[in-house]
Structure 1
Amino acid sequence: MNHALRIFAVLAFAFLSNAAIAQTLKGTLYKQQQCECCEAHADYLRKNGFELEIMSVKDLASMSIGAGVPAGFQGCHLIKLNGYVFEGHLTSEIIKRFLAERPQDTVGLSIPGMPSGVPGMEGPKDGPVTVYAVKKDGTTSTYATQ
Protein backbone atom coordinates (compact mmCIF):
# COMPACT_ATOMS: atom_id res chain seq x y z
CA MET A 1 0.00 0.00 0.00
CA ASN A 2 2.85 2.38 0.82
CA HIS A 3 4.29 1.81 -2.68
CA ALA A 4 0.92 2.63 -4.29
CA LEU A 5 0.71 5.89 -2.32
CA ARG A 6 4.18 6.89 -3.49
CA ILE A 7 3.25 6.24 -7.11
CA PHE A 8 0.05 8.25 -6.69
CA ALA A 9 1.98 11.13 -5.09
CA VAL A 10 4.55 11.18 -7.91
CA LEU A 11 1.84 11.13 -10.59
CA ALA A 12 -0.18 13.83 -8.81
CA PHE A 13 2.91 16.05 -8.49
CA ALA A 14 3.79 15.58 -12.18
CA PHE A 15 0.23 16.40 -13.22
CA LEU A 16 0.00 19.46 -11.00
CA SER A 17 3.42 20.71 -12.10
CA ASN A 18 2.48 20.42 -15.76
CA ALA A 19 -0.90 22.05 -15.10
CA ALA A 20 0.80 24.93 -13.25
CA ILE A 21 3.21 25.50 -16.12
CA ALA A 22 0.38 25.33 -18.68
CA GLN A 23 -1.63 27.88 -16.74
CA THR A 24 1.24 30.34 -16.50
CA LEU A 25 2.29 30.58 -20.15
CA LYS A 26 0.72 34.02 -20.53
CA GLY A 27 2.88 36.99 -21.35
CA THR A 28 3.50 40.01 -23.52
CA LEU A 29 5.69 40.21 -26.60
CA TYR A 30 7.13 43.67 -27.17
CA LYS A 31 8.35 44.45 -30.69
CA GLN A 32 9.43 47.31 -32.91
CA GLN A 33 6.45 48.65 -34.84
CA GLN A 34 7.75 47.66 -38.27
CA CYS A 35 8.98 44.12 -37.44
CA GLU A 36 6.94 41.28 -38.95
CA CYS A 37 9.03 38.27 -37.92
CA CYS A 38 7.98 38.87 -34.32
CA GLU A 39 4.38 38.14 -35.32
CA ALA A 40 5.53 34.85 -36.84
CA HIS A 41 7.37 33.92 -33.64
CA ALA A 42 4.28 34.77 -31.58
CA ASP A 43 2.17 32.52 -33.87
CA TYR A 44 4.69 29.68 -33.38
CA LEU A 45 4.58 30.09 -29.59
CA ARG A 46 0.77 30.23 -29.58
CA LYS A 47 0.68 26.91 -31.45
CA ASN A 48 2.86 25.52 -28.67
CA GLY A 49 0.73 26.54 -25.70
CA PHE A 50 1.61 30.19 -25.08
CA GLU A 51 -0.90 32.99 -24.74
CA LEU A 52 0.78 36.20 -25.87
CA GLU A 53 -0.36 39.77 -26.20
CA ILE A 54 1.66 41.74 -28.76
CA MET A 55 2.58 45.36 -28.13
CA SER A 56 4.49 47.60 -30.51
CA VAL A 57 6.97 49.94 -28.87
CA LYS A 58 9.13 52.77 -30.18
CA ASP A 59 12.31 52.01 -28.22
CA LEU A 60 12.75 48.27 -27.75
CA ALA A 61 16.48 48.61 -26.99
CA SER A 62 15.83 50.80 -23.94
CA MET A 63 13.11 48.43 -22.77
CA SER A 64 15.48 45.47 -23.06
CA ILE A 65 18.26 47.24 -21.19
CA GLY A 66 15.76 48.22 -18.51
CA ALA A 67 14.79 44.56 -18.19
CA GLY A 68 18.44 43.61 -17.59
CA VAL A 69 19.47 42.42 -21.06
CA PRO A 70 22.90 43.74 -22.11
CA ALA A 71 23.09 45.55 -25.46
CA GLY A 72 25.01 42.77 -27.23
CA PHE A 73 22.40 40.18 -26.25
CA GLN A 74 19.26 41.86 -27.56
CA GLY A 75 16.99 40.22 -30.10
CA CYS A 76 14.31 41.73 -32.30
CA HIS A 77 11.62 41.34 -29.64
CA LEU A 78 11.28 40.91 -25.90
CA ILE A 79 8.80 38.63 -24.16
CA LYS A 80 7.93 39.19 -20.51
CA LEU A 81 6.60 36.00 -18.99
CA ASN A 82 6.37 34.80 -15.38
CA GLY A 83 8.87 37.34 -14.08
CA TYR A 84 11.48 36.51 -16.73
CA VAL A 85 12.42 38.00 -20.09
CA PHE A 86 13.02 36.14 -23.33
CA GLU A 87 14.87 37.91 -26.14
CA GLY A 88 14.64 36.72 -29.71
CA HIS A 89 13.38 33.62 -31.48
CA LEU A 90 13.64 30.94 -28.79
CA THR A 91 11.98 27.55 -29.17
CA SER A 92 8.97 26.79 -27.02
CA GLU A 93 10.77 23.77 -25.54
CA ILE A 94 13.68 25.86 -24.28
CA ILE A 95 11.36 28.47 -22.75
CA LYS A 96 9.26 25.78 -21.04
CA ARG A 97 12.36 24.02 -19.69
CA PHE A 98 13.71 27.30 -18.32
CA LEU A 99 10.39 28.13 -16.66
CA ALA A 100 10.28 24.70 -15.04
CA GLU A 101 13.78 25.26 -13.62
CA ARG A 102 12.96 28.79 -12.30
CA PRO A 103 16.57 29.92 -11.75
CA GLN A 104 16.67 32.66 -9.14
CA ASP A 105 19.89 34.31 -10.34
CA THR A 106 18.76 34.77 -13.94
CA VAL A 107 16.86 37.56 -15.69
CA GLY A 108 16.00 35.36 -18.67
CA LEU A 109 17.23 33.94 -21.96
CA SER A 110 18.46 35.51 -25.17
CA ILE A 111 19.20 34.74 -28.78
CA PRO A 112 20.91 37.93 -29.97
CA GLY A 113 20.02 39.38 -33.34
CA MET A 114 17.86 37.72 -35.94
CA PRO A 115 19.46 34.40 -36.98
CA SER A 116 18.01 32.54 -39.95
CA GLY A 117 16.21 29.23 -39.53
CA VAL A 118 14.81 29.72 -36.00
CA PRO A 119 11.08 29.75 -35.17
CA GLY A 120 9.54 32.74 -36.89
CA MET A 121 12.56 33.45 -39.12
CA GLU A 122 12.56 32.05 -42.61
CA GLY A 123 15.63 30.78 -44.36
CA PRO A 124 18.19 28.05 -43.88
CA LYS A 125 19.76 27.46 -40.52
CA ASP A 126 23.52 28.00 -40.68
CA GLY A 127 24.23 25.73 -37.71
CA PRO A 128 23.42 25.58 -34.03
CA VAL A 129 22.17 28.81 -32.48
CA THR A 130 23.43 29.64 -28.98
CA VAL A 131 20.87 30.51 -26.32
CA TYR A 132 22.33 32.63 -23.54
CA ALA A 133 21.24 32.87 -19.91
CA VAL A 134 21.33 36.48 -18.77
CA LYS A 135 22.20 36.68 -15.08
CA LYS A 136 21.00 39.33 -12.65
CA ASP A 137 24.60 40.46 -12.12
CA GLY A 138 24.87 41.33 -15.84
CA THR A 139 26.94 38.32 -16.87
CA THR A 140 25.87 35.78 -19.46
CA SER A 141 26.53 32.10 -20.04
CA THR A 142 25.53 29.52 -22.61
CA TYR A 143 22.23 27.95 -21.58
CA ALA A 144 21.51 25.73 -24.61
CA THR A 145 21.77 25.47 -28.36
CA GLN A 146 18.88 25.13 -30.74
Structure 2
Amino acid sequence: MELRFSGKHIRRARTTLATFGVILLAACTSAAQASPYVMFRDPQCGCCEEWAKHVRTGLDHEVTVREDRPMAEVKAEAGVPGDLVSCHTMEVDGYVIEGHVPAREIARLLEERPEGVTGLAVAGMPLGSPGMEVGGRVQSYQVIAFGRAGKSVFASYP
Protein backbone atom coordinates (compact mmCIF):
# COMPACT_ATOMS: atom_id res chain seq x y z
CA MET A 1 0.00 0.00 0.00
CA GLU A 2 1.43 3.34 -0.99
CA LEU A 3 0.45 6.56 0.80
CA ARG A 4 0.39 9.80 -1.12
CA PHE A 5 0.03 13.22 0.42
CA SER A 6 -0.95 16.31 -1.47
CA GLY A 7 0.49 19.76 -0.81
CA LYS A 8 -2.75 20.55 0.98
CA HIS A 9 -2.21 17.67 3.46
CA ILE A 10 1.39 18.67 4.08
CA ARG A 11 0.45 22.32 4.72
CA ARG A 12 -2.29 21.19 7.11
CA ALA A 13 0.18 18.96 8.98
CA ARG A 14 2.69 21.82 9.25
CA THR A 15 0.00 24.16 10.54
CA THR A 16 -1.11 21.58 13.08
CA LEU A 17 2.47 21.05 14.28
CA ALA A 18 3.09 24.80 14.53
CA THR A 19 -0.13 25.26 16.52
CA PHE A 20 0.84 22.40 18.83
CA GLY A 21 4.26 24.02 19.35
CA VAL A 22 2.67 27.34 20.34
CA ILE A 23 0.33 25.59 22.78
CA LEU A 24 3.22 23.61 24.29
CA LEU A 25 5.33 26.77 24.66
CA ALA A 26 2.44 28.59 26.36
CA ALA A 27 1.90 25.67 28.73
CA CYS A 28 5.60 25.56 29.66
CA THR A 29 5.71 29.32 30.19
CA SER A 30 2.60 29.18 32.39
CA ALA A 31 4.07 26.30 34.38
CA ALA A 32 7.28 28.28 35.02
CA GLN A 33 5.27 31.32 36.08
CA ALA A 34 3.13 29.14 38.32
CA SER A 35 6.07 27.43 40.03
CA PRO A 36 6.05 28.27 43.72
CA TYR A 37 8.50 30.65 45.32
CA VAL A 38 9.03 29.16 48.78
CA MET A 39 10.86 31.18 51.43
CA PHE A 40 12.07 29.48 54.59
CA ARG A 41 12.60 31.75 57.59
CA ASP A 42 12.99 31.80 61.31
CA PRO A 43 9.72 33.01 62.86
CA GLN A 44 11.65 35.47 65.05
CA CYS A 45 13.11 37.43 62.10
CA GLY A 46 11.17 40.50 60.93
CA CYS A 47 13.25 41.53 57.93
CA CYS A 48 12.35 38.33 56.07
CA GLU A 49 8.72 39.41 55.70
CA GLU A 50 9.86 42.78 54.34
CA TRP A 51 12.09 41.03 51.80
CA ALA A 52 9.21 38.72 50.78
CA LYS A 53 7.07 41.84 50.12
CA HIS A 54 9.90 43.21 47.93
CA VAL A 55 9.97 39.95 45.91
CA ARG A 56 6.18 39.81 45.59
CA THR A 57 6.13 43.35 44.22
CA GLY A 58 9.34 43.22 42.18
CA LEU A 59 8.63 39.88 40.51
CA ASP A 60 4.83 40.06 40.60
CA HIS A 61 4.75 36.57 42.08
CA GLU A 62 3.35 35.03 45.23
CA VAL A 63 5.86 33.91 47.87
CA THR A 64 4.93 31.09 50.21
CA VAL A 65 6.50 31.57 53.65
CA ARG A 66 7.47 28.52 55.70
CA GLU A 67 8.64 28.55 59.29
CA ASP A 68 8.43 24.81 59.93
CA ARG A 69 12.03 23.65 59.41
CA PRO A 70 15.31 24.41 61.14
CA MET A 71 17.15 26.98 59.01
CA ALA A 72 20.52 25.22 59.30
CA GLU A 73 18.91 22.12 57.79
CA VAL A 74 17.30 24.10 54.94
CA LYS A 75 20.58 25.82 54.07
CA ALA A 76 22.60 22.58 54.22
CA GLU A 77 20.13 20.76 51.94
CA ALA A 78 20.10 23.71 49.52
CA GLY A 79 23.90 23.77 49.34
CA VAL A 80 24.33 27.34 50.58
CA PRO A 81 28.06 27.94 51.20
CA GLY A 82 28.80 28.73 54.85
CA ASP A 83 30.36 32.12 54.06
CA LEU A 84 27.21 33.23 52.18
CA VAL A 85 24.62 32.43 54.85
CA SER A 86 21.95 35.00 55.70
CA CYS A 87 18.64 34.91 57.55
CA HIS A 88 16.26 33.37 54.98
CA THR A 89 16.44 30.96 52.05
CA MET A 90 14.10 30.84 49.06
CA GLU A 91 13.64 28.13 46.45
CA VAL A 92 12.51 29.35 43.06
CA ASP A 93 12.34 27.46 39.79
CA GLY A 94 15.24 25.15 40.68
CA TYR A 95 17.45 27.90 42.16
CA VAL A 96 18.37 28.86 45.72
CA ILE A 97 18.14 32.49 46.78
CA GLU A 98 19.92 33.22 50.06
CA GLY A 99 19.38 36.43 51.96
CA HIS A 100 18.48 39.91 50.77
CA VAL A 101 18.96 39.46 47.01
CA PRO A 102 17.20 42.22 45.02
CA ALA A 103 14.23 41.07 42.92
CA ARG A 104 15.81 42.39 39.72
CA GLU A 105 18.79 40.06 40.19
CA ILE A 106 16.45 37.10 40.72
CA ALA A 107 14.64 38.04 37.50
CA ARG A 108 17.98 38.27 35.70
CA LEU A 109 19.02 34.84 37.02
CA LEU A 110 15.75 33.29 35.83
CA GLU A 111 16.12 34.93 32.42
CA GLU A 112 19.81 34.19 31.83
CA ARG A 113 20.05 30.79 33.60
CA PRO A 114 23.87 30.85 33.71
CA GLU A 115 25.64 27.51 33.41
CA GLY A 116 26.86 26.00 36.69
CA VAL A 117 24.94 28.40 38.96
CA THR A 118 22.86 26.90 41.78
CA GLY A 119 21.74 30.19 43.24
CA LEU A 120 22.38 33.74 44.40
CA ALA A 121 23.27 35.03 47.84
CA VAL A 122 23.76 38.25 49.75
CA ALA A 123 25.76 37.29 52.82
CA GLY A 124 24.70 38.70 56.16
CA MET A 125 22.13 41.46 56.40
CA PRO A 126 23.55 44.64 54.81
CA LEU A 127 21.72 47.87 55.58
CA GLY A 128 19.92 49.26 52.55
CA SER A 129 19.43 45.88 50.89
CA PRO A 130 15.79 44.87 50.20
CA GLY A 131 14.08 44.26 53.54
CA MET A 132 16.91 45.95 55.45
CA GLU A 133 16.00 49.57 54.74
CA VAL A 134 16.74 51.36 58.02
CA GLY A 135 16.63 55.15 58.23
CA GLY A 136 18.28 55.72 54.86
CA ARG A 137 21.53 54.04 55.92
CA VAL A 138 23.16 51.99 53.16
CA GLN A 139 26.08 49.57 53.15
CA SER A 140 27.77 48.28 50.01
CA TYR A 141 27.16 44.63 49.25
CA GLN A 142 27.53 42.09 46.51
CA VAL A 143 25.16 39.51 45.09
CA ILE A 144 27.19 36.32 44.70
CA ALA A 145 26.36 33.55 42.22
CA PHE A 146 27.34 30.12 43.54
CA GLY A 147 27.25 26.53 42.33
CA ARG A 148 29.29 24.01 40.32
CA ALA A 149 31.01 26.92 38.59
CA GLY A 150 32.28 28.19 41.95
CA LYS A 151 31.49 31.69 43.24
CA SER A 152 31.43 34.94 41.31
CA VAL A 153 30.06 38.46 41.71
CA PHE A 154 26.69 38.63 39.98
CA ALA A 155 25.99 42.28 40.93
CA SER A 156 27.31 44.99 43.25
CA TYR A 157 25.29 47.56 45.24
CA PRO A 158 25.11 50.54 45.57
Tell me, in whole angstroms, the C-alpha distance in 2 between the residues paired with 1:136 and 1:31.
25
In the comparison of the two structures, how many residue pairs are matched? Answer: 128
Matched position secondary structure for 1:93: helix
> Where has structure 1 moved over 3 Å in runs of 4 or more?
19-22
Residue 154 (structure 2) pairs with residue 143 (structure 1): yes
Q: Give the equivalent residue in structure 2 for 1:130.
A: 142
How far residue 55 of structure 1 moved from its aligned partner, in angstroms, is: 0.4
The answer on whether the counterparts of 2:56 and 2:63 sit within 8 Å (CA) in structure 1 is: yes
The answer on whether the counterparts of 2:87 and 2:99 sit within 8 Å (CA) in structure 1 is: yes
Give the partner amino acid of 2:41: K
Residue 49 (structure 2) pairs with residue 36 (structure 1): no
Q: Give the equivalent residue in structure 2 for 1:10.
A: none
Seq. identity, %? 34
- The worse-fitting range, judged by mean Cα deviation, of 27-36 and 54-63 is 54-63
The CA RMSD over aligned residues, in Å, is 2.2
Q: Give the equivalent residue in structure 2 for 1:20.
A: 29
The answer on whether the counterparts of 1:61 and 1:71 sit within 8 Å (CA) in structure 2 is: no
How far residue 44 of structure 1 moved from its aligned partner, in angstroms, is: 1.2
Change (3 A) 1:38 1:46: same
Tell me, in whole angstroms, the C-alpha distance in 1 between the residues paired with 2:118 and 2:144.
11
Q: Which has the higher strand share?
A: 1
Q: Give the equivalent residue in structure 2 for 1:3.
A: none
TM-score for both structures, normalised by structure 2:
0.73
Larger radius of gyration, structure 1 or 2?
2
How far residue 24 of structure 1 moved from its aligned partner, in angstroms, is: 4.7
Q: Give the equivalent residue in structure 2 for 1:55.
A: 66
Where do 5+ consecutive residues of structure 2 fail to align?
A: 1-24
Higher relative contact order (CA 8 A, sep 6+): 1
Tell me, in whole angstroms, the C-alpha distance in 1 between the residues paired with 2:117 and 2:57.
26
TM-score for both structures, normalised by structure 1:
0.78
Where do 5+ consecutive residues of structure 1 fail to align?
A: 1-15
How far residue 76 of structure 1 moved from its aligned partner, in angstroms, is: 0.7
